[in-house]
Structure 1
Amino acid sequence: MTTKTADHITQACSANEIFQIARKACIGSGLTHDRAEDLAEATTLLQCSGHAGLATLHRLLVRQGKAPHTHQLKLSLLAGQMQIDHLRPEAEGVAVIDWLVAGKGPAELHKLDDPLIMAGLLMAAARSYGGQFLVHKAGLSAPIVISDPQRATELASDQGLQLSYQPCASASKSAPVLCRHTEVELAVWQACERLAHLTYVPASAASRQSGAGAGLVDND
């Protein structure tokens, strides 16, 4: 169902629909299936907690589409600490989270693309592992817990920051409340659909012989 307001047209979507269109859009943009799954989970969490997760993901995919052959991770180690000069959620993001959850030490970031998507990845991982991701900045007396999409602004820093992970027995009480349904701008949905369509196999006799579609003969 679509709804028209003074500014734009939106449509109602379920959480599963958000996840599936986000995953397919990522794959259509050339990302691997595992990265697509992680980004889709983060996008769904953001969208279903009242934030523009799908629109932000689409901007990320447009950005990375301009440099499609730069998915190689750019990470380094210094004195047991991971160093990332330029973190992209679709590339280094999940690797950094894996490093932190494994308890190998903190990670230092100097530049970050798409803070909202990175916040979504951190919150999704916190829900899975039951811990907390903390931001440490110069001048702060205490670290900041990334427990809500509003905290994404804490990840945007020109001065650099440090990320760490703290295991705990239960998920944060301040974790966002998720809705099973949400509203998405129709233009954003259609833009993601165009990327998702890149994963589809063109209909032809050859594609049906290889297993796509319903086959060459319908004898039900």
Structure 2
Amino acid sequence: MSFSLNEVEATSKRATRGAGYGWGLSEEAGKATRWLCAAGLDGAQILADLLDRGLAHAPGRHRPACQGNEWGGDEILCPLATGAALSDHMGSLRTGDITLTNVAAPALLLPFAANIARNLKTPVTITVDGVEVVTDGPSLAVNPALPSDATLVKVALGGILTAPAASASRAVPDPAAWAVLNRFAHRTYAPATEASRLLGAGSGLSDND
């Protein structure tokens, strides 16, 4: 089954919030998942795998220490927190590459790299354990076999975008991954009350007969 990119973004945002992330990073996750799907990758699968790892339960341990050009954390880095930090420190890339160690779901860094490329008006190259990925913002040239975890990720300005992936207008996520996102998303729904059930049924609390 296919879904619109708007639906992918909305579901991913709510799922990320349901997994325990704040609304700010949840919004970033929705946009990132949409961008990945538009680039021809299964963003829903990538996000679902990340959310299942429960990194939001100890966010401070999975954020990078943004000092100098070599970033690490207490434990494996969350790509959402790391991507947001890269966006905040994009100006640092003008003076040198940024190296990240021990990163979960590194494919989720690609949308943040695209945002940097758009803002700095230059392609950005991300090297994930030796695999180079280049984006100019709207487009992506990628080897699809990115690892689920990366030991070393390098982010650098520049690069040549060859054979960009075709842009997709709809997403066809893996059904199991889509079910995971909806499972997390349902955690954000308020439980029904007797009054809301009656209002939803259209009867209200009064009888006009």
Shorter-chain TM-score tier: 0.7 to 0.9
1:151-201 CA-to-partner distances (Å, cap 9, x unmatched) read 77499754x3532335xxxxx686544222232233222221111111111
Unaligned runs of 5+ in 2: none
Asked if the contact 2:16–2:184 (Cα under 8 Å) also holds between the matched residues in 1, the reply is yes
Structure 2 residue aligned with 1:165, among 157, 162, 177?
Answer: 157
Counterpart-to-counterpart distance in 1, 2:128 and 2:67: 20
Deviation at 1:60, TM superposition (A): 0.3
Asked if the contact 1:135–1:154 (Cα under 8 Å) also holds between the matched residues in 2, the reply is no
Structure 2 residue aligned with 1:94, among 60, 84, 89?
Answer: 84
Deviation at 1:107, TM superposition (A): 1.8
Deviation at 1:90, TM superposition (A): 2.2
Amino acid in structure 2 at the alignment position of 1:187: A
**SS where residue 150 of structure 1 aligns?**
coil
**SS where residue 112 of structure 1 aligns?**
strand
Deviation at 1:113, TM superposition (A): 1.2
**SS where residue 97 of structure 1 aligns?**
helix
Asked if the contact 2:133–2:143 (Cα under 8 Å) also holds between the matched residues in 1, the reply is no
Deviation at 1:100, TM superposition (A): 1.9
Is 1:71 the equivalent of 2:63? no
Counterpart-to-counterpart distance in 2, 1:191 and 1:154: 20
Is 1:185 the equivalent of 2:174? yes
Which residue of 1 is the match for residue 188 of structure 2? Answer: 199
Amino acid in structure 2 at the alignment position of 1:199: T
Asked if the contact 2:42–2:172 (Cα under 8 Å) also holds between the matched residues in 1, the reply is no
Unaligned runs of 5+ in 1: 1-10, 167-171, 209-213
Which residue of 1 is the match for residue 122 of structure 2? Answer: 131
Is 1:41 the equivalent of 2:34? no
Which residue of 1 is the match for residue 113 of structure 2? Answer: 122
Which residue of 2 is the match for residue 83 of structure 1? Answer: 71
**SS where residue 111 of structure 1 aligns?**
strand
Q: Which moved more, 1:87-96 or 1:149-158?
A: 149-158
Which residue of 2 is the match for residue 148 of structure 1? Answer: 141
Asked if the contact 2:65–2:71 (Cα under 8 Å) also holds between the matched residues in 1, the reply is yes
> 1:23-38 counterparts in 2 under 5 A?
23-38=13-28
TM-score, normalized by length of structure 1?
0.69
1:91-119 CA-to-partner distances (Å, cap 9, x unmatched) read 22210232124657432212221121122
Asked if the contact 2:14–2:26 (Cα under 8 Å) also holds between the matched residues in 1, the reply is yes
Matched residues, percent identical? 23
Asked if the contact 2:64–2:71 (Cα under 8 Å) also holds between the matched residues in 1, the reply is no
Counterpart-to-counterpart distance in 1, 2:194 and 2:107: 44
Counterpart-to-counterpart distance in 2, 1:52 and 1:24: 18
The aligned length equals 193
TM-score, normalized by length of structure 2?
0.72
Counterpart-to-counterpart distance in 2, 1:187 and 1:151: 20
**SS where residue 31 of structure 1 aligns?**
coil
